[in-house]
Structure 1
């Protein structure tokens, strides 16, 4: 009798078990039926790190989400800060991008009733949209010497001796080459030449400025680096022929950023610039910011932020010959109160390095580094990842910081931590030597380029990034 009663109870509970004990199979969202990645059913796809992937989510009321620090989602050409995108209508086409440092890709699909399915995709090394190998190849092309190296012009551009002033033909030739690069990517590109009226034969500046229209034409933002190098007899090392580290490295990084951003949408009108006359006192960026011309900095629009690239590639994770990591510097500003965070872009700077790129933010060395120009140096003299808000100057970000823009300045090892500064030894070959080879140099520059690219993407979509002037 008891056995029969137990059997009846079990039969009655059986149909309810899906509600009490879990979700029945028919209520689970079928990822392969609703999502394709690069044309494949979702679970058949492999995510190649650092590469773009095309996704299609089909179904009214569906939403796809991912951990925002590991997976970046782009809709209509712009990054979604939360990495959570809904279907408006019956389908949504969007793109997915990881960094080379992403450790896992976990996606979740939700429906409008709150049901969900979560799955992890396999990952593999890809060819990142911005990478150290491409940077090195471009550096080698620009800094080689066709006479000394004996290489054909197709392999050796030889755009050296870019000393600003007195109509230097080598500088003019380099500027024309860089202008052609931006134009080939579809940017409205201009040569901005401003002459010192006290000496008409001495060009004060000759910049290359590339513009991209934004969705909102009431605001402006930008990135840049100086393309001039220290002329002969310049302090402290006597000037340079290649200027590989200062600042051909930053110049090439801007060329690669332009390739990535060409296919994206931006919120504000955006300039990508190569400045002249930085070594003579920021005259190039000041000419752009303070002159009235059709492609100069608009005076009637809000200048939101600016990111500066100067002396790139000799920094963590590269290791010194002594066995210590090179210092890595990235400063946000303006830093009005040294005891408080003053600007929102500082949070982006920290988030990108700490959470997205997973940098060792607390790594320190025994002893101290050989440079100390920032106001927090007493607390950071042994810190490898010197990433914080500061008043540090010495480059073109100062021009825009003085106008109220929120800024980020990327700088590698400098002063006592790099002894080829402004000297004939500032060559690509020397850069490889001091970090232990080409692979290490490519790894180092790739990290800082990803940091700057991500900072731009996050700042572009963050309304709190406003002019503080």
Structure 2
């Protein structure tokens, strides 16, 4: 009698434990997840910062989640990740951008027919996510799921909170190549990629070159110095014309907004330029993704230490402005050149503001007048400040 009661108790305990434990070994349907050996990735080492073709081959039927930027082979659009179905023995080739600042790429696999996978937290890497066992996700949590989209070859992805349960992580290594022209001390580790730090530095060095140029009547230097806005500043005007020509050389449609500022004495001052290069989207041209930075610099210091935008007396700052903000200007130029010929659904706008040192006057003018009043049908969907 006692042994019978013990047996019944053990059965009840096993039943109670089986539900939570089952999720550790298989999805709720009872089928075992595919293992990492069921997916072959070629090449096994990806090149960081470059678009490349990667082949995924399944040894059994499965779903594959690739959480990286992909280029659509039909439209040349870039989308953020996808989930695809693979039958046993099937191979799919994806042109993807390997992240440049990590050594490990992570994809996930699950049972066939799966349309959602867990995702990492925004403040962690995929490698950290794997190390903490993120694959054993509960049914609820940060997730990526299929979004029906007839405009793409591969299914588009949307964020959600239904993970689809546990998954299997499969990893590949990432290597960031170095340009042979540079050694470690010259930034070799940041010298390759879709947009890279070494090219950005070279642009920065060009714009801030202080070597004397007696033939340059604007600033007397090889670079473009003394770029404080307005006040009849020839060096500022010279720099603006150079930046306009750069955008045009990339094949962008350039729009220049010239605006005035009235100082406290009622004097109207042609304060500065906004210089914007446009690459119009093919599907949603009135939805704008904007990359921006200000290209004016703070004027040099004088004894009065007064605001030059109020008094006309130049104060504070340097004539070079490498950090504030030639660095940002250089990044906008490099991104614009790299993306000028990319096909996008939405319009990309690359803007160089001025009047920032006097209070963000250029960007305020652009949003308050150029967008709101002159282009009221436009929605700025994203802004990246550089």
Instruction: Tell me which interval the TM-score lies in, with the shorter structure as reference length.
Output: 0.5 to 0.7
Q: Which residue of 1 aligns with 2:348?
A: 270
Counterparts of 1:276 and 1:305, CA distance in 2: 20
* Pairwise CA distance, 1:109: 7.0
Question: Residue 377 of structure 2: which of 290, 296, 300 is its match?
Answer: 300
Counterparts of 1:220 and 1:302, CA distance in 2: 6
Counterparts of 1:212 and 1:205, CA distance in 2: 23
Q: Which residue of 1 aligns with 2:225?
A: 160
Deviates more, 1:174-183 or 1:256-265: 256-265
Question: Residue 183 of structure 1: which of 248, 255, 280 is its match?
Answer: 248
* Pairwise CA distance, 1:148: 7.7
| 8 Å Cα contact 1:99/1:128 also seen in 2 | no
Structure 2 spans left out of the alignment, 5+ residues = 1-30, 115-166, 178-191, 215-220, 307-314
> TM-score, length-normalised on structure 1?
0.47
**Cα RMSD (Å):** 4.1
> TM-score, length-normalised on structure 2?
0.56
* Pairwise CA distance, 1:279: 1.0
Alpha carbons of 1:220 and 1:44: their partners in 2 closer, same or farther (altered >3 Å)?
closer
Counterparts of 1:167 and 1:175, CA distance in 2: 13
Counterparts of 1:94 and 1:258, CA distance in 2: 25
Structure 1 spans left out of the alignment, 5+ residues = 1-20, 32-41, 150-155, 310-469
Alpha carbons of 1:172 and 1:118: their partners in 2 closer, same or farther (altered >3 Å)?
same
Q: Which residue of 1 aligns with 2:196?
A: 131
* Pairwise CA distance, 1:250: 1.0
1:285 aligns with 2:350: no
Q: Map 1:365-384; keep pairs closer than 5 Å.
A: none
Counterparts of 1:297 and 1:74, CA distance in 2: 34
Question: Residue 223 of structure 1: which of 291, 296, 310 is its match?
Answer: 291
Counterparts of 1:163 and 1:220, CA distance in 2: 28
**3-state secondary structure, aligned to 1:228:** coil
Question: Residue 242 of structure 1: which of 320, 323, 334 is its match?
Answer: 320
1:390-443 per-residue CA deviation (whole Å, 9 max, x = no partner) reads xxxxxxxxxxxxxxxxxxxxxxxxxxxxxxxxxxxxxxxxxxxxxxxxxxxxxx
| 8 Å Cα contact 1:73/1:84 also seen in 2 | no
Alpha carbons of 1:303 and 1:146: their partners in 2 closer, same or farther (altered >3 Å)?
same
Q: Which has the higher contact order (CA 8 A, sep 6+)?
A: 1
| 8 Å Cα contact 2:103/2:175 also seen in 1 | no
1:65 aligns with 2:65: yes
| 8 Å Cα contact 1:107/1:120 also seen in 2 | yes
**3-state secondary structure, aligned to 2:380:** strand
* Pairwise CA distance, 1:251: 0.8
Q: Which residue of 1 aligns with 2:96?
A: 96
Counterparts of 1:213 and 1:93, CA distance in 2: 29
Structure of larger gyration radius: 2
Counterparts of 1:92 and 1:180, CA distance in 2: 43
Counterparts of 2:250 and 2:84, CA distance in 1: 29
Q: Map 1:66-465; keep pairs closer than 5 Å.
A: 66=66, 68=67, 71-75=68-72, 76-80=76-80, 82-85=81-84, 94-107=94-107, 120-126=171-177, 127-147=192-212, 157-196=222-261, 199=267, 202-214=269-281, 215-233=283-301, 238-292=316-370, 298-309=375-386
**3-state secondary structure, aligned to 1:206:** strand
Alpha carbons of 1:119 and 1:252: their partners in 2 closer, same or farther (altered >3 Å)?
same
* Pairwise CA distance, 1:106: 3.8
Counterparts of 1:136 and 1:51, CA distance in 2: 19
1:146-191 per-residue CA deviation (whole Å, 9 max, x = no partner) reads 3189xxxxxx841111111133221122112222222222221122
The count of residues paired between Structure 1 and Structure 2 equals 263
Alpha carbons of 1:117 and 1:239: their partners in 2 closer, same or farther (altered >3 Å)?
closer
Counterparts of 2:93 and 2:222, CA distance in 1: 41
* Pairwise CA distance, 1:213: 1.6
| 8 Å Cα contact 1:51/1:97 also seen in 2 | yes
| 8 Å Cα contact 1:222/1:272 also seen in 2 | yes
Higher strand share: 2
| 8 Å Cα contact 2:231/2:270 also seen in 1 | yes
Q: Which residue of 2 aligns with 1:412?
A: none
**3-state secondary structure, aligned to 1:252:** helix
* Pairwise CA distance, 1:270: 3.0
